[in-house]
Chains A and B, each alone.
Chain A
Amino acid sequence: MKTSYYIYLLGLAAIFDTSSSYAQNKETATKPKADTLTVQTVNVAFGAQTKKNMTSAVSFIDANTIKSNGLTNISQAMVGTLPGLMSSLSVGNTIAADSYSFLVRGKATNANTAPLIMVDNVERSIEYLDPNEIESISILKDASAQVMYGLRGANGVILVTTKRGAKNNSFIHIDTRTGVQSPEFWAPKLDAYQYATIYNEALTNDGRLPFFTAQELEGYQNNSNPYLYPNVNHQKELLRSYAPFHNYNFSAGGGDKTIRYFSSLGYLNQEGFFKHANVNDKYNTQNKFERFNFRTNLDVTIAEGFEAALDVNASISNNHSPWTFPNDILADIRNTPANAYPLFNEDGSLGGTTLYRNNLYGQIVNSGYRNEQARSLQTTLRLNKTLNFITQGLSANATYSIENFNPFVSGQSRTFAVYQLQPLVTPATYTAYGANSQLSSQGYSTSDYFRRNILNASLNYEYPKTGNHSLSAIVVYNQNRLQISGDDPDWKYQSISSRVSYGFKQKYFAEATAAYSGSSNFTAGNRMGFFPAFSAGWMVSSESFMKGIKAVNSLKIRGSVGEVGNDLISGGRYQYRQTSTASGGYGFGIPNGTSLGSTEGALGNSLISWEKAFKTNIGFDAQLFNQSVELTADYFHERRRDIAVAQSASVPGIIGISLPNENRGVVLNRGIDFSLQYKHSFNNLKLYTSLNGMFVKNKIIELGEQIQQYAYQYRKGNSLDARFGLVSNGIYQNAQDVANGSPSAYSALLPGDIRYVNQNPQDDNVIDARDRIVIGKGATPEIYFGLNIGGSYKAFDFSFLFQGAANRDIVFVPSQYSTAYYDYRWTPANAATATYPRVTAITSGHNNMQTSTFWQKDGSYLRFRNAELGYTFKNVLKLSSFRVYANGFNLATFSKLTDVDPESQSAGYTYAPLARTYTLGIKVKI
Chain B
Amino acid sequence: MSGTHEGTFQGLRAQLQEAAATFADGPDALEGILLGIVDDVDRAVREPLEIFPVCHHSPASAIAMARRLREKQPKVVYLELCEDMAPLLTELRNCKLPVAVQSFATEVDGFPAEWSPLSVVAPITEASAEYQAIAYALDTPGVELVLVDRSSDHVFQWDARGTESAEPADPAAPPAEEEAALHGDAVGVEIGDLRPRFAELEEYLLRHGKVRHWSEWWHQYVELPLGDSDHDTYRQVMLLIGSLFRRLAPGDPHRVRVDEDRERYMWTRMREHLAAADADPADCLYVCGAFHAASRVAEFGVHGTDTFEVSPPTATTWQHGLIPSSHAAIEAQFGLAAGSVSIAATVWAKNLRRTRVEPFRLVGQAGAKKSRAKKAVAAAEAVPALPPSDKLTGFLRQTPALDRLDEAELLGWSVEIVRAARRNGYLASTADAIAVFETSILLAGMRDRTRPTPYDFQDAAVTCIEKDTVPGRRDVRRLVEIMMGGDRVGQVGYDALPPLARDVHDRLAPLGLKLQQSGVRRALLDIASQPELERCSDVLWMLRYLMPQGAARPIMGERKLGERSIQESWDLALGTYQRALIELGYEGVSIEQVLEQRLRRLAYDRRATAASVLEAVEDATLYLRSRRLADELGTHALEVLSAERSVDGAPEVLRRVRRLLAYYRTSEAVLPPWIESFVKTGYAHYCTLLPTAFTDDDATVRQVAAMLGFLFSMESLALSLGCDRTQLELAVVQSHPEEPSKTALLWAAQVHLGRLSRADLRNRCDELLGNPLVVPAYPRYLSGFVHALDPVPGLTDFVVEAVSNAFGRLPDPVLLPWLPTLITTLRSGGSELAPLLIREAGRTFPGRLAALDTWVPPWRAQPEAVRPARPAEGGRGCALLAAHPATCDAMASLLGCEGTWETADSGPAGVALTGRHPDTAVALEALLAGA
Q: Do the two chains bind?
A: no
Which A positions have Cβ atoms within 8 angstroms of B?
Answer: none
